[in-house]
Amino acid sequence: MSTFKMLSNLTEDDRPENDGKNTKANLRRMARSIALQTLFESDAVSHDPDSVLARHLDDELITEETASFAKQLVTGVIGNLEDLDSIISSSAPNWPMEQMAKIDKNILRLAIFEILFDNDVPVKAAINEAIELAKSFGSDSSSRFVNGVLGTIVAQRLRRNNKFPA
C-alpha cells in the first residue's frame, strides 16, 4: 500500500517551492504536486476534481501561472482518462489497474499526459518529475515502478514512430 503525504504535511525542506528560487521548474513542480493530490483524492474517494482542485489552490500561496498549469494538468488527465488508462494497462500487463496503487496510477496518468498529449515538456524532464513525485508521495518501490512503466511507454512510442525523445 502506498503512503500518501499531503503537500501541507511536507517539511519546509521537502516543499518544492522552498529552495529560495521561484524558477519556472519549481513552480511547475508545485503545480504537478497539486494536480497529483487532486487526481489522487478524486480517484480514491470520488470527489469532484474541480472542487478538489479549487480547494487545493485556495490552500496554497501560488502564482497564477502555477494554478493555471495545475488546472491544465488536471483537466487534461480527466479529459483523457480512458486513453491514459488503456496505455497504462497495455504497458504494465502484470499490474491490473484495479490492483495498482492509486498514487502510482495517478503519477503515471500525469506523466503520460505530459509526454503523449501535452508535449510541452521534454520526455526526460516529464519522466524525472514523475520519479520525484513517486519518491515524495509513493511507497519505497513506486519510483522504480513508475520509471519502468514510463520507460516501456516511451520505448514503444519510439519503435512506432522511429524517433527519439529530446
| Residue predicted with more confidence, 25 or 69 | 69
Q: Which domain CATH number covers 74?
A: 1.10.940.10
- Asked whether residue 1 is assigned to any structural domain, the reply reads no
10 Å CB burial of residue 46 (0-12, 13-18, 19+) is: exposed
- Asked whether residue 33 is assigned to any structural domain, the reply reads yes
Cα gap 60→21, rounded to integer Å: 17
> Domain tally for the chain?
1
- Asked whether residue 2 is assigned to any structural domain, the reply reads no
**pLDDT given at position 18:** 45
pLDDT mean across residues, the chain: 85
Flag whether the pTM goes above 0.85: no
Percent of the chain whose pLDDT exceeds 90: 67
Query: Tens digits of per-residue pLDDT, 6-31?
Result: 444 444 344 444 444 558 888 999 99
Query: Tens digits of per-residue pLDDT, 130-154?
Result: 999 999 999 999 999 999 999 999 9
Average of pLDDT values for 64-84?
96
Q: CA separation (Å) from 44 to 21, 106, 137?
A: 33, 10, 14
- Asked whether residue 166 is assigned to any structural domain, the reply reads no
